[in-house]
Amino acid sequence: MCGIVGYVGSRSVSECLLEGLHRLEYRGYDSAGIAVISDGEISVRKKAGRVMELARLVEEQPLFGNIGIGHTRWATHGETTDANSHPHLGGNGEVVIVHNGVIENHDSLRNQLIALGYVFHSQTDTEVAAHLMAHHLSEQLKLNSDEPCVDTCLRAVNLTLDRLKGTYGICVMFRDCPDTIIAARSGSPLVIGVGKNEYFLASDSSPLIGCTQDVVYLADNEVVVLNATGMKIAHRTTGRVQPSIQTLDQVSADIDLGNYPHYMLKEIFEQPTSVENAMRGRLDEGEATAVIGGLNLTAQQLRTFDRVVLTACGTSWHAGLVGEYLLEEFARLPTEVEYASELRYRNPPISDRTLVFSITQSGETADTLAAMRECQRKGHPTLSICNVVGSTIAREADGGIYLHAGPEIGVASTKAFTSQVTVLSLLALYLGRMRHLSYPAGKRIIKQLREMPEKIEEALKCHERVQEISEKYAHFNNFLYLGRLYNFPVALEGALKLKEISYIHAEGYPAAEMKHGPIALVDEQTPSVFIVPKGGIQPKVISNMEEVKARRGPVIALACEGDKEVERIADDVIIVPDVEEYLQPLVCAIPLQLLSYHIALLRGCNVDRPRNLAKSVTVE
């Protein structure tokens, strides 16, 4: 959701900014722009549409210089137009800013600035901040005309931030301080790349890969001043901060497409590796348990908890539902899964013997972060299951488990889901062995987990069959996804994937709930996708399939090879490997990801950058 890039150094800044914006396209956006300072003036180029259209504009109207900022916008205030695109100028062009987040009091500030004579050219909340900064700069120059320019500009920034309510990641340049970028964050991430006599700035690490390996993650309420010769960071209330420089452990190959046409397909096929990486070094054969480092709680402390709350959004919430089944079955711990967007505003009774986990791929999801902070405020140990090292949630959680899935660029999450389910399986094994799970049972689980990368490879062999089925069903506009127990969350996830990237209406349900209402939707134009591999409850799901067929509904079934009963009923069957029921989400998710991918392609949709969606939702 929205992306920021910035650069100060000796490179050609336009090329640097455009490359960074290209790498941020996966976050979801509807317009893009850059601003450069050259010959004492701020020049802006911005355009509604894709980054390539901005690049064409810059080619026609070149910008030269060594300092600049750029932005990809995901509309919150105002339609998708050139005027509403970032960057925004303030005053008479003495200030230019880009901004991620939402300024909640922008209406009242706008009215105050209009009364002072400021003229607005957009509908955005960001232009309010630009004019407000120009106003405070003017006031400071009247009071401190002899003060060094950087100090004056910094004071104008801080005075502006004092008046903003909401969230922001903000990046500012001043016409009369042409060698400096000032940036600040509160609730919206910013990462600084440290080079030799040059500095980079971005809303996540992807634009920095290949440019530098040294990064600094800006924390909430910190402000950074950057020029080619140095970096100064200060907390807005506590003062100067000694930056902690960390090493970026990604390489450019991690974000390259390779031989794949789309990131989504690449990431689907990376899942044997990402699941293996999630387990690497975390299985202890001798003790028949998992090795979970980073929780920052002793075994004795963990045994005192008698309840678990998992909180997340979207795909991560679906993974949490699988985690609920896992933790209750193997650890015998009552578990609840809460939408983070609801938990942050509720006041549920959570005892001091409740362990809270936030689940997130990006580590920056605004609702999940707010829910985690609310739980921490009330004194509950709050841990995270997260993919991005150095993200806000990873840093602020009391402890946690990394997924090690590598960068996930496609907006529709694929390998993060299976990695989250894998980590939750490890967590259930770990907590289970502390409580009721026997040694032989732990050994069996470890053996079955070790087989999963190979089983996922086997599941991926359905690719050609899924392509064929997609051609048959791509013209339908409504789908039902149905599964039970561990496969109910998979049904929800499969429906979400189809909605996200093909814009088809799809709903996921427990198969038995179909006859309590959704069966009214069944007709010849509504395919039902049944997840029905072998298991104790399979006959019940087969009975639900019969009910759909009796009403002439088309049926696609995920089933194990040689299942004659399913083959007799279903119109089309996709074969999945035969694994234990608690591991079925890891193999059943694969064909559903591929089904949504191919249907979206056949309908002419952009699978990596679906409309209206963002990879990391950093605003409420």
Provide mean pLDDT across the span 462-479: 95
What tokens does 328 get?
């209750």
Distance of alpha carbon 549 from alpha carbon 539, whole angstroms: 15
What tokens does 145 get?
């005309």
Provide mean pLDDT across the span 52-64: 91
Contact, 487 vs 537, CB < 8 A? no
Question: Which residues lie across from 68 on neighbouring strands?
Answer: 7, 36
Give pLDDT, residue 40. 86
Owner of token pair 């109207």: 61
Q: Within 10 Å of residue 436's Cβ, how many Cβ atoms?
A: 12
pLDDT range class, residue 229, cuts 50, 70, 90 = confident
Contact, 531 vs 487, CB < 8 A? yes
Contact, 411 vs 610, CB < 8 A? yes
Residue numbers annotated as active site: 2, 615
Provide mean pLDDT across the span 114-129: 92
Q: Domains plus CATH for the chain?
A: 3-99+169-254 (3.60.20.10), 257-450 (3.40.50.10490), 461-620 (3.40.50.10490)
Q: Within 10 Å of residue 138's Cβ, how many Cβ atoms?
A: 15
Provide mean pLDDT across the span 604-620: 71
pLDDT digits (tens, 9 = 90+) for 404-449: 998 888 888 999 999 999 999 999 999 999 998 999 999 999 999 9
Give pLDDT, residue 616. 57
pLDDT range class, residue 559, cuts 50, 70, 90 = very high
Distance of alpha carbon 178 from alpha carbon 156, whole angstroms: 16
Residue 239 confidence (pLDDT) above 90: no
Q: What pTM value is reported for the model? A: 0.81
Give pLDDT, residue 388. 86
pLDDT digits (tens, 9 = 90+) for 21-42: 888 876 667 888 999 998 889 9
Distance of alpha carbon 152 from alpha carbon 148, whole angstroms: 6
| H or E stretch covering 480 | strand 478-483
In order of 80, 425, 440, 560, the CA distances from 512 in angstroms are: 43, 25, 33, 20
The runs of H, that is alpha helices, within 564-617 are 564-569, 584-602
What is the DSSP code string of 408-434? Answer: --SSS-SHHHHHHHHHHHHHHHHHHHH
Residue 562 confidence (pLDDT) above 90: no
Provide mean pLDDT across the span 527-554: 87
Q: What pairing do the DSSP bridges indicate for beta strands 214-217 and 177-186?
A: unpaired
Distance of alpha carbon 298 from alpha carbon 275, whole angstroms: 26
